[in-house]
Chain A
Amino acid sequence: MLHVLDLMASFWLGQLNLKALPPNPIQWFGASLIILVPIMAAVLLTVTKRWRWLYREWITTQDPKKIGVMYILVAFGMLLRGGADVALIKTQQALSVGASNGILSASHFQQIVTAHGTIMIFFVAMGLMFGIINLILPLQIGSRDVAFPFLNATSFWLFFFGMVLVNVSLVLGDFAATGWLAYPPLSELRYSPSVGVDYWIWSLQIAGVGSLLAAINFIVTILKMRVKGMNFMKMPMFVWSVLGSMLLVAFAFPILTATLTLLALDRTLGMHFFTSGAGGNMMMYVNLIWAWGHPEVYILILPAFGVFSEVVATFSKKRLFGYTSMVWAIGAIVLLSFIVWLHHFFTMGAGSDVNAFFGIMTMVIAIPTGVKLFNWLFTMYRGRIKLDSPMLWFIGFVVIFTIGGMAGVLMAVPPIDFQLHNSLFLVAHFHMMIVGGVVFADFAAITYWFPKIFGFKLNETLGRWAFWLWLVGFLTSFIPLYILGFMGATRRLDHYSASLGWQQLFIVSGIGAALIGAGVGVQLLQFAYSIYKRKDNLDKTGDPWDGRSLEWSLPSPVPFYNFARLPEVTSRDAFWEAKKIHFKDNRKYEDIEIPKNTPLAFLIALMAFLFAFSVVWHIWWVATMALLAIIVGLIIRSMDEQTDYVLAAQEVEKLDKSHLKGARA
Chain B
Amino acid sequence: MKSQTRTVAADVMVSLHQPEEATLKKYVIGFTGSLVLTFGAYLLTQYGALSKPVMIIVLAILALSQFVLQLIYFLHVGKEFSPRLKLLVTIFMVLIVFILVAGSIWIMDNLKGRMMSQSNMVKYMNSQNGL
Q: Residues on A close to B: CB < 8 A?
A: 143-145, 147-149, 220, 223-225, 247, 251, 255, 281, 283-284, 287-288, 291, 335, 338-339, 341-342, 348-351, 353-354, 566, 590-593, 595, 644
The reply to whether A283 and B2 form a contact with Cβ atoms under 8 Å apart is no
Given known contacts A338-B100, A350-B114, A145 and B108 CB-to-CB distance under 8 angstroms: no
The reply to whether B2 and A287 form a contact with Cβ atoms under 8 Å apart is no
CA distance A287 to B106 in the complex (A): 11
Q: Does B8 contact A (CB under 8 A)?
A: yes
Could you name 8 residue pairs across A and B whose Cβ atoms are closer than 8 Å?
Answer: A224-B4, A224-B11, A247-B92, A251-B93, A291-B100, A351-B113, A593-B2, A595-B5
CA distance A592 to B107 in the complex (A): 54
Q: Which residues of B contact A283 (CB under 8 A)?
A: 108, 111
The reply to whether B108 and A284 form a contact with Cβ atoms under 8 Å apart is yes
CA distance A251 to B8 in the complex (A): 22
Q: Which residues of B contact A224 (CB under 8 A)?
A: 4, 7-8, 11
Q: Which residues of B contact A255 (CB under 8 A)?
A: 100
Given known contacts A225-B4, A225-B8, A592-B3, A351 and B104 CB-to-CB distance under 8 angstroms: no
Q: Which residues of A contact B115 (CB under 8 A)?
A: 349
Given known contacts A143-B4, A145-B4, A644-B5, A351 and B100 CB-to-CB distance under 8 angstroms: no
In this complex, which of B7, B85, B103 has the most chain A Cβ atoms within 10 angstroms of its Cβ? B103
Q: Does B52 contact A (CB under 8 A)?
A: no
Q: Which residues of A contact B92 (CB under 8 A)?
A: 247
Q: Which residues of A contact B107 (CB under 8 A)?
A: 287, 342, 350, 354
Mask: chain B, 39-67; 1 = CB below 8 Å from A; 0 = not: 00000000000000000000000000000
Q: Which residues of B contact A595 (CB under 8 A)?
A: 5
CA distance A349 to B1 in the complex (A): 59
Q: Does B99 contact A (CB under 8 A)?
A: yes
Q: How far is the CB of A614 from chain B (nearest CB, A)?
A: 27
CB-based nearest A residue for B11: A224
Q: How far is the CB of B100 from chain A (nearest CB, A)?
A: 6
Q: How far is the CB of B110 from chain A (nearest CB, A)?
A: 5
CA distance A349 to B85 in the complex (A): 41
| Pair count A-B, CB < 8 A | 73
The reply to whether B96 and A223 form a contact with Cβ atoms under 8 Å apart is no
CA distance A125 to B99 in the complex (A): 27
CA distance A251 to B96 in the complex (A): 8
Q: Which residues of B contact A144 (CB under 8 A)?
A: 3-4
The reply to whether A281 and B108 form a contact with Cβ atoms under 8 Å apart is yes
Q: How far is the CB of A499 from chain B (nearest CB, A)?
A: 35
Interface residues on B, range: 20 to 34
Q: Residues on B close to A: CB < 8 A?
A: 1-8, 11, 85, 92-93, 95-96, 99-100, 103-104, 106-108, 110-111, 113-115
Q: Which residues of B contact A592 (CB under 8 A)?
A: 3
Given known contacts A143-B4, A644-B6, A338 and B99 CB-to-CB distance under 8 angstroms: yes
CB-based nearest A residue for B6: A593
Partner of B110, one of A225, A251, A351, A593: A351
Please name 20 further chain A to chain B contacts, defined as beta carbons within 8 Å, in addition to the given A225-B7, A284-B108, A351-B110, sorted by A numbering.
Answer: A144-B4, A147-B8, A148-B5, A148-B8, A149-B5, A247-B92, A255-B100, A281-B108, A284-B104, A291-B104, A338-B96, A338-B99, A342-B103, A350-B107, A350-B111, A590-B1, A590-B2, A592-B3, A595-B5, A644-B5
Q: Which residues of A contact B100 (CB under 8 A)?
A: 255, 291, 338
Q: Which residues of B contact A288 (CB under 8 A)?
A: 104
In this complex, which of A335, A350, A590 has the most chain B Cβ atoms within 10 angstroms of its Cβ? A350
Q: Which residues of B contact A225 (CB under 8 A)?
A: 4, 7-8
Q: Is the interface of B mostly helix, strand, loop or mixed?
A: helix
The reply to whether B5 and A147 form a contact with Cβ atoms under 8 Å apart is yes
CA distance A75 to B5 in the complex (A): 28
The reply to whether B106 and A354 form a contact with Cβ atoms under 8 Å apart is yes
The reply to whether A644 and B96 form a contact with Cβ atoms under 8 Å apart is no
In this complex, which of B2, B4, B7, B100 has the most chain A Cβ atoms within 10 angstroms of its Cβ? B4
Q: Which residues of B contact A220 (CB under 8 A)?
A: 8
CA distance A144 to B6 in the complex (A): 12
Q: Which residues of B contact A590 (CB under 8 A)?
A: 1-2
Q: Which residues of B contact A348 (CB under 8 A)?
A: 111
CB-based nearest A residue for B100: A291
The reply to whether A353 and B6 form a contact with Cβ atoms under 8 Å apart is no
Q: Which residues of B contact A591 (CB under 8 A)?
A: 2
Q: How far is the CB of B116 from chain A (nearest CB, A)?
A: 12
Q: How far is the CB of B23 from chain A (nearest CB, A)?
A: 14
In this complex, which of B11, B85, B92 has the most chain A Cβ atoms within 10 angstroms of its Cβ? B92
Q: Which residues of A contact B6 (CB under 8 A)?
A: 593, 644
CA distance A107 to B6 in the complex (A): 53
Q: How far is the CB of B126 from chain A (nearest CB, A)?
A: 21
CA distance A655 to B27 in the complex (A): 46
Nearest 5 pairs of A and B residues by beta carbon:
A593-B3, A147-B8, A350-B110, A354-B110, A224-B8
Q: Which residues of B contact A350 (CB under 8 A)?
A: 107, 110-111, 114
Q: How far is the CB of A296 from chain B (nearest CB, A)?
A: 14
Q: How far is the CB of A542 from chain B (nearest CB, A)?
A: 22
Q: How far is the CB of A260 from chain B (nearest CB, A)?
A: 16
Q: Which residues of A contact B1 (CB under 8 A)?
A: 566, 590
Q: How far is the CB of B95 from chain A (nearest CB, A)?
A: 8
CA distance A223 to B12 in the complex (A): 13
Q: Which residues of A contact B114 (CB under 8 A)?
A: 349-351
Q: Which residues of A contact B93 (CB under 8 A)?
A: 251
CA distance A247 to B85 in the complex (A): 13
Q: How far is the CB of A162 from chain B (nearest CB, A)?
A: 25
CB-based nearest B residue for A291: B100
Q: Which residues of B contact A342 (CB under 8 A)?
A: 103, 107
Q: Which residues of B contact A284 (CB under 8 A)?
A: 104, 108
Q: How far is the CB of A329 from chain B (nearest CB, A)?
A: 17
The reply to whether B110 and A353 form a contact with Cβ atoms under 8 Å apart is yes
CB-based nearest B residue for A251: B96
Q: How far is the CB of A528 from chain B (nearest CB, A)?
A: 37
Q: Which residues of A contact B103 (CB under 8 A)?
A: 291, 339, 341-342
In this complex, which of A145, A288, A354, A590 has the most chain B Cβ atoms within 10 angstroms of its Cβ? A354
Q: How far is the CB of A218 from chain B (nearest CB, A)?
A: 12
CA distance A218 to B116 in the complex (A): 48
Q: How far is the CB of A327 from chain B (nearest CB, A)?
A: 14
Q: Which residues of B contact A143 (CB under 8 A)?
A: 4
CA distance A220 to B107 in the complex (A): 34
Q: How far is the CB of B6 from chain A (nearest CB, A)?
A: 6
The reply to whether B5 and A593 form a contact with Cβ atoms under 8 Å apart is yes
CA distance A566 to B2 in the complex (A): 11
CA distance A354 to B99 in the complex (A): 14
CA distance A149 to B6 in the complex (A): 11
Q: Which residues of B contact A349 (CB under 8 A)?
A: 111, 114-115
Q: Which residues of B contact A335 (CB under 8 A)?
A: 95
Q: Which residues of A contact B104 (CB under 8 A)?
A: 284, 287-288, 291
CB-based nearest B residue for A354: B110
Q: How far is the CB of B51 from chain A (nearest CB, A)?
A: 18
In this complex, which of B5, B95, B100, B104 has the most chain A Cβ atoms within 10 angstroms of its Cβ? B5
CB-based nearest B residue for A353: B110
CA distance A255 to B101 in the complex (A): 11
The reply to whether A287 and B5 form a contact with Cβ atoms under 8 Å apart is no
CB-based nearest A residue for B104: A287
